[in-house]
Amino acid sequence: PSIPPRSLAIARRYITQEARQKIQSAVETTPVVLFMKGTPEQPMCGFSRAAIQVLELQGVPPEKFKTFDVLQDSELRSSIKEFSEWPTIPQLYVDGEFVGGCDILLSMHQSGELEELLEKKGVLPP
């Protein structure tokens, strides 16, 4: 059996099965999910604020959108990074699939790709 490189073994923490199931359930049961710092009413970082503003500009209906404040749950904060294999927060999921962080969200919004994705997934009317 091969032994993984030491740096990989140290850098990778293992998400608990319970945490993985909670995240999986969250992203599968709501069409648009944002893991963020703070709440939509009170974002606790500029990137989370920008992500919320983009989703508001897109007109994502409240009944198709849910947020999770990673500052309220340290396990979630570390687990979501491993779950998505993405190092930063906020993180956006649409229809159960990871879309990206704030930079990708802004870029997709500016290019029109985000609106296309939200329409294609049935979040927004065509």
pLDDT digit string, tens, across residues 14-44: 788 999 999 999 999 999 999 999 999 999 9
Distance, CA of 1 to CA of 28 (rounded, Å): 36
Distance, CA of 115 to CA of 92 (rounded, Å): 14
The separation between CA 72 and the C-alpha centre of its own chain, rounded to angstroms, equals 16
Amino acid at 117: L
Q: What is the pLDDT of residue 8?
A: 46
What size, in residues, is the chain? Answer: 126
- Cis amide bond preceding 126, omega within 30: no
Model pTM score: 0.88
Residues forming beta bridges with residue 33, ordered by sequence position: 66, 93
pLDDT of 6 strictly over 70: no
pLDDT of 9 strictly over 50: no
pLDDT in tens, 36-86: 999 999 999 999 999 999 999 999 999 999 999 999 999 999 999 999 999
Query: How large a percentage of the chain has pLDDT more than 70?
Result: 90
